[in-house]
Each structure stands twice: as C-alpha cells, then as structure tokens.
Structure 1
C-alpha cells in the first residue's frame, strides 16, 4: 500500500481524476507529476507535494497546549494505552488528553499527523465538501494518506460547514486547527470570511475550553488578522512561519483563549 509520502510519479500534464458540482461550486481532484491537487472553483487549494505546514499546524497547537501557561498540558505519549471512556458532546472531557477539532480535511496531512500522535484523546474533522470525503474513503485516490487515521477510533469525520458547526455545536475542544482557505485574507468562498470576523472568532472561542488554542493556516501572514484576534479577546497571539519546498513560507496564526 502507498504511504502518505509515496504518491507515484506521472507525466507533468495535469490529469483530472474527478470533477463534481458540490454545494459550494465546482470541486476538482487532479494529478500533476507526482502530486494530487484539489481545486475549488478554479482556485488551487492544496496538494500532496509538501505537507510540512499542515503537519506543523497540528504540532503548533499541541506545543501551545503543552506550554507552562496551559491549564491542561497533554500527558505523556504512553498515556495512549490508558482506557478510553466514550465521549458525549457537551459533557466535558472524560479523557485527560486534549480534544482536537480540525476545520478542513483537504488532502489529509493534518488528520494523518494528528492520528499518528497518541497524545490526542479524540480528533474531529469538519469537512463541507462530500467529494473530498469520498476521495479519502473506500480506496479513493487520497485514501493512502488517511486510511489508518480514518480507522483510528479517536477519529470522527463530520460532513458539515465549519462556520455553521462552530456557531451551533454544544461540544468543546482544547484545540481548533483551521485550514479551509488560503488564509484569512484569501478565502475560498465569501461566506468563509465571516469565520475570521469578530463574530466568527467569538464562535471559535466558544468551542474552545479555557486555555484552548486556535491555530489558523495561511499562505501568507496577516497583521490585520492578528489585530482582530487580540480585539476578540485572544491572548498570546503570534504568527509562526513554516518554510516550504517552494515559494514563500506558509504561516500558522496562533492564539489562546484566556483561562
């Protein structure tokens, strides 16, 4: 079976593997060279060529939870062997390890990386595009990247819009990692822009437990978004650059809900 980092080489000509009309417009999966790419309404979203920033999104959130200020630092990795109790949304944490909410499944780098780390108690992924979920399931083109993560009992995939989810859910999490756009200033659809507004960030804060971490992936830094995070009441706001194989560095915006 292919590993997440062993997609076979193909000619450089882009080959469309699937094209669908989704609830938010056209969504396309194509192969170019050795990379699989997701295109939404003609806008390049992500590919499988270099997942280091998507993996760092998860690690940066966990590092922030593990910092001295954190009220509930994750236990050691061997805590994964401890018995797990079932979780009821809204009932609070029954497992001492932190709960993770990922906004956006994408090519699956963030999910696969989170599931490989036993320090997460549960991993909930919210994805609004049915096609993307299909591409990861039942031997789909992206399934080599996430089949182990999807089989992990900690993993749950929800087919819904993360903007609506954070507005409506009664569940809470220790970390919220968002990777649904090219950044706060470059959204895939206009509706997504509300998530980075003061009202949207208030919803993000509501689904985070005290001391919880918000991590937002972006293709470029946004000083304006940093200011919006501070004005929304988040603390320890900072931006971390992640070098990538080509082009300018990606970034992760980090912020902590006050304890």
Structure 2
C-alpha cells in the first residue's frame, strides 16, 4: 500500500507559499492531487469537469481546422489535455505564471504530465497571461489565435491578484480580443454562478455570448456543485 499523504513539492513564490500534495482518498480509492496557495486550495484532481468543459465548450464554437489555441493557466493540465484531444488543434500555447507549476509537469509529478510534455503540438510559456494579453505583441510575437481559454482567477469578481481586475473590463477584454482571429473564441472558467454584469461586459466586446453552468458530483457534500464557463465570439 502506498503513502496516504505526500507533499510532492513546496515553494515560496511571489504570490505566497505554493504546495503540491498527493493523498489517497480511502472512500473513492483514488489518488487525489491538490495544489494549495498558503492555506487556500487552488485546485484538485477530484473536480476537473468544468476545466475540461472550458476547452470543449470554447473549441466547440470555433469553425475550421488547423487551430492555434492559447490556454491561460496550466494548473493540473486538464484544460490543456482536453484542448489537445480536439484533433483540429495545430498548436497549443499554455501560459503559466508560476514556473513551479510548469516544473511539476516537466518533472512528471502530475498524472497528465507525460501526455502534455509528449505532445509536439504543446508548448509551455512561463509568463504573465494578463500582461501578455494587454501587450501589442500578445502571447507570441504578434501571432493571432483561434481560441483563448482562460482559467486563472476564481472569477471575474474574485481575482488572485488585484492587478488582474482591469482585464475584466471592456477595454481589457478588447486588448485581449485583438490577439484573436475574427470569429475566434474567448472562453473563461469561473467558480461563481453566472454574473449578469460580467455577461453584459462580455457582450460589449464579443458576439454570441453565453454563460454555461457546468454541474458535477461533489463527493464531499454528497450533492452537486457547479462552475460557470463564459464563451464569446470575436468580432
């Protein structure tokens, strides 16, 4: 029998102490991988349905083939893997602000690491997604993309860093949308229920805006939990 609990890595970062843990859930009989920032849980491999749906719902609106995609936030890799499962994806650029998270994948500490590092279409970029979105060169020296899939903050109203708030305004979203092809898609994960004010903000910049509620089983409560995936099409 393996260890019931193991801290795989711990680092001091500019935004606080970040740790990667693996524990055995005796009820579900699975290994659970968790990332914590200080005492706050950032992500868990038990709850990945909405991360997967972020890619599926976003890419599901994109037409054509030979797609170039940006994922903002690597995390445990579930959004990136779901994007790569779409065979139309020609290239995937995963922007991650914490080099430690990229290192976990490159060292093979996470379950999806081999799939992501072994796919030639995928590239990790250690950088500030929000700063790159604001910049004129964008994410890759002026290249435009067919989809940008973002999962970094808890929600547009509950951000990890106060410097991110300007991104969720019409001006911030327009600067990001400049890095999309016409008809390209922006999709955003949120831990909160759909928020009407933010939906209206998205509609100032994008067409065909939708807020999808993604529900999933919560093994801790014995009931259902839900996240939101916002999707909009670039003009």
User: TM-score, normalising length from structure 2?
Assistant: 0.86
Q: C-alpha distance in 1, partners of 2:163/2:2?
A: 36
CA distance in 2 between counterparts of 1:22 and 1:229 reads 32
Equivalent-residue separation in structure 2 for 1:23 and 1:197 (angstroms) = 25
Give the Cα–Cα distance (whole angstroms) in 2 for the partners of residues 255 and 27 of structure 1: 32
Match of 1:185 among 154, 157, 161: 157
Give TM-score, length-normalised by structure 1: 0.79
The counterpart of 1:147, out of the listed 109, 114, 117, is 114
Residue 195 of structure 2 is matched in structure 1 by 222
- Correspondences of 1:1-20 after superposition (within 5 Å): 11=4, 15-20=6-11
Asked if the contact 1:40–1:188 (Cα under 8 Å) also holds between the matched residues in 2, the reply is no
Taking the aligned partners of 1:10 and 1:217, their CA distance within structure 2 comes to: 33
Matches within 5 A, 1:241-256: 241-246=213-218, 247-256=224-233
What's the CA shift string for 1:204-256, capped at 9, x where partnerless? 2111111111100011222221111122x211111011111214211101111
- Of 13, 19, 36, the match for 1:28: 19
Q: Where does residue 127 of structure 2 map in the other structure?
A: 160
Q: Any conservation in 2 of the 1:20–1:28 contact (CA below 8 Å)?
A: yes
Q: Separation in 1 of the partners of 2:165 and 2:11?
A: 23
Deviation of 1:197 after TM superposition, in Å, equals 2.0
The alignment covers a number of residue pairs equal to 218
| 1:163 and 1:200 in contact (8 A); partners too | no
Provide the rounded CA distance (Å) in 1 between the counterparts of 2:213 and 2:59: 16
Q: Is the 8 A contact 1:184 1:222 kept in 2?
A: no
Q: Find the aligned partners of 1:113 and 1:186 in 2 and give their Cα distance.
A: 25
Q: In the superposition, relative to structure 1, how do residues 194 and 26 fare at CA in structure 2: closer, same or farther (>3 Å)?
A: farther
> Could you tell me how far apart the structure 1 residues matched to 2:64 and 2:114 are?
25
Equivalent residue in structure 2 for 1:127, among 93, 96, 103? 96
After superposition, the CA RMSD in angstroms is 1.8
Unaligned runs of 5+ in 1: 1-7, 66-72, 76-96
CA distance in 1: counterparts of 2:115 and 2:145, whole angstroms: 23
* Structure 1 match to 2:221: none
The counterpart of 2:42, out of the listed 45, 54, 67, is: 45
Q: Answer whether contact 1:112 1:146 (CA < 8 A) is retained.
A: no
Structure 1 segments of 4 or more deviating over 4 A? Answer: none
**Structure with higher strand content:** 2
